Amino acid sequence: MEHISIDEVEPSAFGGDVDRRGLTEPLGASDVAINRYRLAPGERFSQGLHAHMDQEEIFVIVEGDATFETMDGDVTVGAGEAIRFAPGEFQSGKNDGDEAIVAFALGAPRDSEDVRIPQECPECGHDNMRAIPGDDGFTLRCPECSAELEG
């Protein structure tokens, strides 16, 4: 058993000031990724529309209203509601409102290694590119022909 205080976990964000607290490591979780977010108006859960091909994601909204962009249009999820994205479903969440959002994001399996963005490959026309993280951002690589673009 592991017991932590979320407020004592150091916030971390990928290239921004978003209050994202990774709970996976402090809790010693081996099969699920867990993050707590506090988003001010205008802030986002992630930088843009993406899909985890090897992980499902669930967002539980505790306070406020989150807007999730999907390939089928926007979906608003309010306090006391949750939304699930299956592996391969494109989504991006943000705070379009005037009040802060508090939410938990859960991903299983824990580690996602195949993240895609909906951008067509200029070489072969495949409908999405794989995001490969690097020191200065990420590279986009086509899963069909291996063509690369700087992200």
Per-residue pLDDT of the chain (151 residues; tens, 9 = 90+): 999 999 999 998 665 678 999 999 999 999 999 999 999 999 999 889 999 999 999 999 999 999 999 999 999 999 999 999 999 999 999 999 999 999 999 999 999 999 999 999 999 999 999 999 887 778 999 999 999 986 5
Domain boundaries in the chain? 6-108, 119-150
pTM of the full structure: 0.92
Judge contact between 108 and 132, C-beta under 8 A: no
For 6-108, CATH number out of 3.40.1190.10, 2.60.120.10, 1.10.3720.10, 3.40.50.2300 equals 2.60.120.10
CA distance 62 to 39: 12
Can you give the pLDDT at residue 14? 61
pLDDT at 17: 77
Q: Please, what's the b/e burial string for 66-87 (b: 16 or more CB within 10 A of its CB; e: otherwise)?
A: bbbbeeeeeeebeeeeebebee
